Structure 1
């Protein structure tokens, strides 16, 4: 078992969630049950699955939950790109969050290889 609070990938994914929640508060209210809801589910899934995996009894289980977290990160990245493509929020506000998301994806892959 790993102490989730000590995992840099978990800390960064918490930051990603915080920044993403702040970003989607700028989306139009017409997106409340569309992109906003979907994005919030995706971004909260990342640290949640890292935490769940850290609390499991085996490295194999942990790798599985890291894989699920990575899928959610790719889902989030796609949704953030959609925000830009639909001109809902300026690209300059969204791009740093996409870059953090990609950094977490790379960290996740490296962490899985290490386990």
Structure 2
């Protein structure tokens, strides 16, 4: 078992959750139950899957949760693109967050690859 609070991937993902909430507060009100809700749920899903997976008794099971976390990271990246395309965020913020999510994706993939079968 892993202590998820000590994992860099979990901490970086938690930072992204905060970024997502800050970002979506500026979205139009009609997006409250649309893109705003979806982006935040997706962002929360990334560290949630990491922490849930860390409780599993085998690395094989943990890897499944990391896979889900990675899927949520790619989904969030798509939603970030939608927000940019709809002019909800400027190009500077888009590029900054795009770099962050790509880094998180790489970190999760690397961590998953480094898990020893148990």
Decide: shared fold, TM above 0.5. Answer: yes
- TM-score of the superposed pair, with normalisation by structure 1: 0.97
Listed as ranges, the matches of 1:69-84 within 5 Å are 69-84=69-84
Match of 2:23 in 1: 23
Q: CA deviation at 1:88?
A: 1.6
* Whole-angstrom CA distance in 2 between matches of 1:22 and 1:31: 14
Q: Which residue of 2 aligns with 1:89?
A: 89
- The answer to which of 37-46 and 93-102 deviates more is 93-102
CA RMSD of aligned residues (A): 0.7
Measured after TM superposition, the shift of residue 92 of structure 1 is 1.3
Question: How far apart are 1:99 and its partner, in Å?
Answer: 1.1
1:50 maps to what in 2? 50
- Following TM superposition, by how much is the alpha carbon of 1:69 offset from its aligned partner in structure 2, in angstroms? 0.2
Instruction: Name structure 2 gaps, 5 residues minimum.
Output: none
Deviation at 1:94, TM superposition (A): 2.6
- Structure 1 CA distance for aligned equivalents of residues 77 and 62 of structure 2: 22
Matched residue SS, 1:27: coil
Q: Structure 1 residue 89: deviation in Å?
A: 1.7
Deviation of 1:95 after TM superposition, in Å, equals 2.1
- Partner Cα distance (1:56, 1:85) in 2: 39
2:14 is matched with: 14
Unpaired runs of 5+ residues, structure 1, are: none
Mean alpha-carbon deviation: is it higher for 13-22 or for 91-100? 91-100
Runs in 1 of length 4+ with deviation above 6 angstroms? Answer: none
